Structure 1
Amino acid sequence: MAATRSYHHGDLRRAIVSATLEVIRSDGVAAISLRDLARRAEVSHAAPAHHFKDKAGLLTAIATEGFELLADTLAAVPADAARRLREVGARYVEFALNYPAHFEVMFRPDLLHGDDPELTAAKERASRALYSGVEDLPADRRGPDVQRTGLAAWSLAHGFATLQLSGSLPPLDDDPAETFRKLVDDHPSQRSYGRPPLEG
């Protein structure tokens, strides 16, 4: 058996998170066990529990990191970008495909400590970045209910990303984010209603 590695405090926490993300990518969330993670990271069996208390604490840390990464991704969309809300949706899709293990955990409240303050703050930051695309629309284009329009936009991007990750979509001719942009541009609601949720 390999000797236990010597980690600085922060490095050990990162090593456990990285090992967890690897397990999620290869085998799914159900395969996670703190004892197995300790073996993978070559640390003592007590190390994961010392840093995260329990499995839910570990997954909460990963979800928190995921929401922070999502917020950073969405905040990077220029404020003056053409059709900004559509671009926010496309970046959401890109995030999901670039960070599939985080994405799998982030929207599983049954696995998390929902009252964790860091998780709450990260979720709120990501939500503000997501809804900013709606709020930036002229009043006559965002509709009377910003939350409802934002929910429609989020559902469209999240659903597309989830279908792509699960392998449920047919083969795409383009990069998934570009396909998403084209779907929004070509949707019949453009012609029927003129202002689909992600037009911006």
Structure 2
Amino acid sequence: MAVRFRLNGEMRAEDQAPPTMTVLDYLRGTARLTGTKEGCAEGDCGACTIVIGDKGNGATQYRAVNSCLMMLPQRDGCDVITVEGLARPDGALHPVQQALVEADATQCGFCTPGFVMAMLAFAQGGEEGTDENIHDALAGNLCRCTGYRPIVEACRKIAGQPESAIPAKPFPAMPPGAEYRQGDQVCFLPRTLDGCLTLRAKHPDALIF
């Protein structure tokens, strides 16, 4: 079984990657999308933030995630968006990127792609630009240069702006797979708690992630 997902609008079916390959390693090493950065590789810094979409109740629900903490098979049937996926045909910046530029909210730039993706997910959620909402949205991203004030102001600017959200692109429903095998490794993909407990009983020594 191949891991099937959409990456920046392009459908992919990956059947050669090890089950334990992280999404971050796949993006940077296999897909050569190096805008997603590796900072801590522990889910603390947010430099590797991407946006994923899962089908829920017929609609695709988007959220920001740390790609360093997720294995590629976990993204089976998902929509995956990296900072490269925000490129416009005419070369213009995405409104989230433009807001950061206008607020002078970047210095060294290493953390910027992660903040862009966290802000994109925030804009998609349609929440009000209150301090509490913005701080919650950006809590998983660290910056050692700006002091955060201009980043917060940029995030406030795009809050509730439809043009700052993820462009609507039909995302085909893909029946989830049950497992992914590569060599002597297998990754089971249970979709329910009962399914997870059944597999746990059969494979008590399995690594859970």
TM-score (norm 1): 0.27
Between structure 1 and structure 2, the one with the greater Rg is 1
Q: TM-score, normalised by structure 2?
A: 0.26
Give the structure with the larger strand fraction: 2
Whose helix proportion is higher, 1 or 2? 1
